[in-house]
Amino acid sequence: MKEKFEILFSPFTIKSLVLKNRLVMPPMGTSFSTSFGGVTPRFIRYHCERAAGGVGINLVEFAFVEAWGRLSSHMPAIYDDSHIPGLKSLVEAVHQAGGKIGIQIGHAGRRARSSINGGRRPWAPSPIPELGGEIPYEMNQSQIDYLQECFNKAAQRAKKAGFDAVELHAAHGYLIHQFLSPLSNNRSDRYGGSLENRSRFALETLARIREGVGDEFPIFCRISGDEFVEGGSSLAEAKGFAKLLEEGGADVIDVSAGVLESAQKTVPPMAVEHGCNVGLTEEIKRHTNLPVICVGRIKTLEEAELILQKKSADLIAMGRALIADPELPRKTRAGGNVRPCIGCNQGCIDRLYNGLAITCLVNARAGREFQIPSLGKAPVSKKIAVIGGGPAGLEFARVASERGHKVTLYEKERELGGRFRIASLPPKRGEINEFVQYLIRSIRSLGVKTEMGVSVKPEDLVKGEDFDEVVVAAGGVPIPFPMAETPSNVSFAEDVLQKKAPLGAKIVVIGGGMVGCETAEWIAESGRQVTLLEQLPEIAGDMEARTRKLMLSRLDSNRVEILCNGVVERVEKDRVIYRQGGLRFEIGGVDHIVLALGYKANDFNPQIPSAKIHRIGDCLRPRKAIEAVHEGFLLGLEI
């Protein structure tokens, strides 16, 4: 049979390295290492699954080359020979799983934190702190020499550990990029000023590494194709830098984007288009003879193949898509049901930046592969009723039925997906529905019985059917505004999004959390005048940082009026009275009032003596979808 992904699944040679295909898993921090940076069984198993899933090469996340060069704990270390055996065990396991593996080496520079680095003040090209960071120490020549040697030794250790390649981290605002960017480098010596001078730290480091690892060992260089910050290193500079890296002995240019201040460019959220860096990669490819890697919201093999067909890149990196489904390459080729990354960033980068190990909203097994090698079969097949077809109920039904239980799912609406389905309705949130559809496909193929449009009463569950266990996943219900009589022009956000409420021209949305913001945007897009009233000092505090940043700018461009620190006192038919800074104000002439005040648990509580009752998701306590999905998964595994 003709290979559908002809270019993608053709081999690719980089010096001594022959890749079986052109698919790369890019470096992604996991926090799976020990607090001393040691490799753990969890880390190994996580990488092995992705290698076995069919990716051409795994690039291990940012490993720090010097003891003080990390930005958070639990990053992998490569600054001492004592790290070689652990890294070697990772390499051997990935090779055994049929994959190739490289490692990214880096130094955080000014992004290192004295709090986790024994009180040592960070080093950087210039004493310019990053946003919210410490004032770094300006490196002198001997410190420059010292760190370049650290990079060199680290690359040699990578080679000794058996890695197939090393990647120099020259992107994202870490040390090498700090030298490159005029925003973090104002030196007047040979390392500052012109592009050539600002590139010198990288090029000298590269030269040392090349000398250390020899001519045949592949060296990838990751760059930010554009810093996307005014006054920073632009695409024009990145093209020049790529050329200099080529002349300096690099073998592959890995084109990423952004720095801390433009983090939405580095790990682009759902609102960003697929293949967002294709343009940057094409431009850089035109300026170098080296193979280039394209990364950024490439979610399917079809997209990857298209980028290769158009010769926009030579290799394709898929990051979060492989956290979401490690078997994506193999499954896609076999026509399987791929679990899609939805770009929510909640389980991966958001957790990492909050000091936690990564997981994944759609894949609760991510990071638990070592503890849960497979779902396995339940010792006894039980008859189970699930009340509620939202993310918790659907994920539970998927896992439990895969383990051999007979599951019947009851849903009061005519459609599955619960609040997650509604969450996919606002602008730029449609991808959420891809996961809902994945769950629906899964339960259908596993033979889960679904009863739709059924508002279950406890007695219904004992009639006829003899369930061993009942799982209540009935979700949450929106919190009303406390008032004796609700005017007819007051609606819940979820009803507005489902077009169940007629809106006039002037709307007030009360509650500026994620739901309120998304609803305000959705309404404003239809040309209506929207005021968003929030009692806290800021809106969208419950949103993932990158997603939030883009949301705030869209609210601004849709001219949504935002009133913070505003506590609503009274809601009347055509006005909202609120207090702000101790004063009373009112918004008059209001046509419709939308409530987004959060959710309370649905208290549906069947008492069935013959069955064991469980509660999962928002009906236990309203939280985010990630908790609902993970609770569904874990109960499905346990039952």
Ligand X SMILES: Cc1cc2nc3c(=O)[nH]c(=O)nc-3n(C[C@H](O)[C@H](O)[C@H](O)COP(=O)(O)O)c2cc1C
136-144, 164-172, 241-249, 361-369 -> range binding ligand X (CB under 6 A) = 164-172
Closest CA to 55 of 309, 333, 267, 276: 333
Least CB distance to ligand X at residue 396 (A): 26
> Of the candidates 47, 169, 428, 549, which one interacts with ligand X according to CB under 6 A?
169
* Window of 80-88, 95-103, 345-353, 499-507 that interacts with ligand X by CB under 6 A: 345-353
Is residue 195 within 8 A of residue 148, CB to CB? The reply is no
266 binds ligand X (CB under 6 A): yes
Phi, psi angle pair for 99, to nearest 5°: -110, 175
For residue 305 the two structure tokens come to 């193949």
Burial class (CB in 10 A: 0-12, 13-18, 19+), 486: middle
Q: In the beta sheet, which residues pair with residue 386?
A: 409, 471
Please identify which residue in 253, 267, 307, 324 interacts with ligand X, judged by CB under 6 A.
267
Q: Give the binding range for ligand X (CB under 6 A) out of 23-31, 455-463, 478-486, 589-597.
A: 23-31
Stretch that binds ligand X, among 20-28, 307-315, 411-419, 493-501 (CB under 6 A): 20-28
The DSSP code for 385 is: E
Among 352, 364, 562, 637, binds ligand X (CB under 6 A): 352
Indicate the residue type of 534.
Answer: E
Choose which of 7, 78, 316, 349 interacts with ligand X (CB under 6 A).
349
- Out of 65, 180, 183, 295, the only residue in the binding site for ligand X (CB under 6 A) is 295
Is residue 296 a contact residue for ligand X (CB under 6 A)? yes
Site string for ligand X, 24-63 (x = CB under 6 A): --xxxx-------------------------------xx-
Angle at alpha carbon of residue 302, lines to 296 and 305, rounded to 5°: 80
Can you say how many angstroms the Cα of residue 197 is from the centroid of all Cα atoms in its chain?
A: 35
Instruction: Give min distance, CB of 361 to ligand X, in A.
Output: 12
Structure tokens at 73: 């704990």
Residue 242 near residue 288 (C-beta atoms within 8 A): yes
In contact, 481 and 568? CB cutoff 8 Å? yes
Q: At what angle do helices 195-213 and 235-247 cross, to 10 degrees?
A: 30
Q: What's the min distance (Å) between Cβ of 347 and ligand X? A: 9
Helix (H) or strand (E) holding 635: helix 625-638
Q: C-beta of 519: minimal distance to ligand X in Å?
A: 27
Question: Least separation, in Å, of the C-beta of 164 and ligand X?
Answer: 18
Q: The tokens of 399 are what? A: 């896992």
Nearer to ligand X, 340 or 636 (CB): 340
Q: Evaluate the CA torsion angle 270, 275, 276, 281 in order and state its sign.
A: positive
Candidate ranges 8-16, 152-160, 314-322, 464-472; the one touching ligand X (CB under 6 A): 314-322
Q: Of the candidates 252, 318, 422, 594, which one interacts with ligand X according to CB under 6 A?
A: 318
Q: Which of residues 71 and 456 has its CB atom nearest to ligand X in the complex?
A: 71
**How far is residue 8's CA from residue 301's CA, in Å, rounded to a whole number?**
8
Taking contact as CB under 6 A, which single stretch among the options 324-332, 346-354, 502-510, 578-586 is the one that binds ligand X?
346-354
Nearest distance, CB of residue 609 and ligand X, angstroms: 46
C-alpha 404/C-alpha 57 separation (Å) is 35
Distance CA 240, CA 195 (A): 8
Smallest distance, ligand X to C-beta of residue 614, A: 31
Interface pick for ligand X out of 107, 198, 320, 365 (rule CB under 6 A): 320
Structure-block tokens of residue 132: 């919210």
Q: Which of 46, 174, 578, 599 is catalytic?
A: 174
Q: Residue 405, Cβ neighbours under 10 Å: how many?
A: 23
- Please say whether the beta carbons of 57 and 25 come within 8 A: yes
Please report how close the Cβ of residue 82 comes to ligand X at its closest, in angstroms.
22
Our finding on whether 319 is near ligand X (CB under 6 A) is yes
How many other C-beta atoms lie within 10 A of the C-beta of residue 603? 9
523 binds ligand X (CB under 6 A): no
Select the residue interacting with ligand X from 348, 493, 539, 596 (CB under 6 A).
348
Is residue 275 involved in binding ligand X (CB under 6 A)? no
- Binding segment (CB under 6 A) for ligand X, from list 294-302, 375-383, 430-438, 561-569: 294-302
Q: Using the minimum distance from each CB to ligand X, give the nearer residue, 239 or 297.
A: 297
For residue 239, the minimal CB distance to ligand X (Å) is 19
Q: How far apart are CA 451 and CA 454, in angstroms?
A: 6
Number of residues that bind ligand X (CB under 6 A): 26
Give one word for 231, left, alpha or beta, with left for phi > 0 and alpha for psi -120 to 50. Answer: left
Instruction: Scan residues 205-264 and list those touching ligand X (CB under 6 A).
Output: 222, 256
* Residue of this chain nearest to ligand X (CB atom): 319
Question: Two tokens at 56?
Answer: 């051409």
Give the residue with the Cβ less far from ligand X, 121 or 331. Answer: 331
Q: Of 21, 33, 72, 104, which one interacts with ligand X (CB under 6 A)?
A: 104
Active site residue 146: no
Taking the complex as a whole, the smallest distance from the CB of residue 317 to ligand X amounts, in Å, to 6
Residue 86 found at the interface with ligand X (CB under 6 A): no
Provide the minimum distance between the beta carbon of 27 and ligand X in the complex, in angstroms, as a whole number. 4
Nearer to ligand X among residue 83 and residue 172 (C-beta): 172
| CB contact set of 263 (below 8 Å; sequence gap of 6+) | 545, 546, 549
Q: Kindly state the tokens that stand for 253.
A: 């240019």
In the complex, what is the shortest distance from the CB of residue 222 to ligand X, in angstroms, rounded to a whole number? 5
Of residues 57 and 472, the one with the C-beta less far from ligand X: 57
315 counts as binding ligand X under rule CB under 6 A? no
Distance CA 34, CA 36 (A): 5
Cβ closer to ligand X: 76 or 622?
76
Identity of the residue, 33 or 491, whose beta carbon is nearer to ligand X in the bound complex: 33
- The helix (run of H) or strand (run of E) holding residue 409 is strand 406-411
The CA distance from 21 to 8, in Å, is 6
According to the binding rule CB under 6 A, does residue 467 interact with ligand X? no
Structure tokens at 548: 């939030």
Structure-derived torsion over alpha carbons of residues 556, 558, 559, 562, reported in degrees to the nearest 10: -60
297 contacts ligand X (rule: CB under 6 A): yes
- Collapsing DSSP to helix, strand or coil, 534 comes out as coil
Task: For residue 551, count CB atoms less than 10 angstroms from its CB and return exposed for 0-12, middle for 13-18, buried for 19 or more.
Answer: buried
Q: Which stretch binds ligand X (CB under 6 A): 165-173, 369-377, 444-452, 480-488?
A: 165-173
Residues tagged active-site: 174
Q: Note the residues at the interface with ligand X (CB under 6 A).
A: 26-29, 61-62, 104, 169, 171-172, 222, 256, 266-267, 295-298, 318-321, 348-349, 352, 358
